[in-house]
Amino acid sequence: MRKTTIFTITLLSLAILPVMAQVQTDALGQVWTDFQSYSTDLQNYLQYNLSENLKPVEVQSQDALSGAKGKLNIPNPILAGQKVRENLILHSYNSDSRANRFENNSAVQGNLVSNELNRVITRGVAVGVLGENGQIRTKAKLENTEKSLDDIAGLAQETEGSNNTFLNQIKTSISAVKTPDPTANAISGLAELLGASQVQILKIQQEQVKIVAETFAQSLQNNQSLQYSNLNLANISQQAEEANRARRVETSTEAARLLRATSQLDLFGRQVKK
């Protein structure tokens, strides 16, 4: 009888061992590797897309971006704008690099270049998230998240089956004894209760993991929507600057026309002294 009780307790200890399993994936959890890939995409975009709207001051813009990088190897837009404004104001470029004769104020031109540099960085961030490589990374994360959920579901079923097997072994060993020990029956009931509780806890954790995965997927979608909002704001600010620039050119043209007309009237209105 004592041997049966010891055997039962041994099986019970195996049944209530905590389940320890790690679902390993290739994309989940590697946050630093993912961020480095994103940073590379951003750097590539900034390197090859400055000449589109910043061609006259491309060198100054590249210098400002390089000098504004931090520990994450991404440029600080505030510092980059400050550097390019200081560079253009303190070292005014020659007349060949000016956009037109009405934009000859280095302070105004510095602000325009700084704003355009911020828009380029914003577009670069969007490319890092929504570009080809960014979508590959997002797809891998979503696929591996779903795979993790499937692995956890399989683990829950496997644990439930193992608990049932242990309980059956305990009941079989007890029923084999002609005169069952009340202590053994109590331990068998306790093992059954603990096994059921363990399975229920694992199922609850499984549902919690599903909720976390859904939250993660929603965060990815919200991040994509945020990039579209940033692009729209960048486009709106660019249109506003173009409208202001056209207004300044129109005002300068009108002032020049009025000055010319006034000069002509002054010449015609003068009397020749004899």
Q: What are 36-57's pLDDT values in tens digits?
A: 898 999 999 988 888 777 877 8
What pLDDT sits at residue 244? 86
* Residue 94 domain flag: yes
Would residue 194 count as lying in a domain?
yes
Please tell me the least confidently modeled range out of 17-21, 139-143, 192-196.
17-21
Distances from the Cα of 21 to the Cα of 18, 142, 148, 231, angstroms = 10, 21, 12, 43
Question: What is the arithmetic mean of pLDDT over 197-225?
Answer: 81
> Are the C-beta atoms of residues 8 and 188 closer than 8 Å to each other?
yes
274 belongs to a structural domain: no
The neighbour count for residue 4, using CB atoms within 10 Å, is: 16
Total domain count for the chain?
A: 1
pLDDT tops 60 at residue 148: yes
Q: Residues 174, 186: contact at Cβ < 8 Å? A: no
- Which is more confident, 135 or 55? 135
3-state secondary structure of 94: coil
Instruction: For residue 272, tell me if it sits in a domain.
Output: no
Residue 20 lies in a domain: no
* Lowest-pLDDT range of 4-13, 34-43, 84-93, 246-255: 4-13
Question: Is 96 inside any structural domain?
Answer: yes
d(CA 9, CA 7): 6
Q: Give the pLDDT confidence score for residue 180 in this predicted structure.
A: 58
* 273 within some domain: no
Domain with 55 in it: 2-15+32-267
Share of the chain above pLDDT 70, in %: 70
Phi and psi at residue 69, to the nearest 5°: -75, 145
Residue 153 lies in a domain: yes
Collapsing DSSP to helix, strand or coil, 19 comes out as: coil
The answer to whether 230 and 122 are in contact (CB under 8 A) is: yes
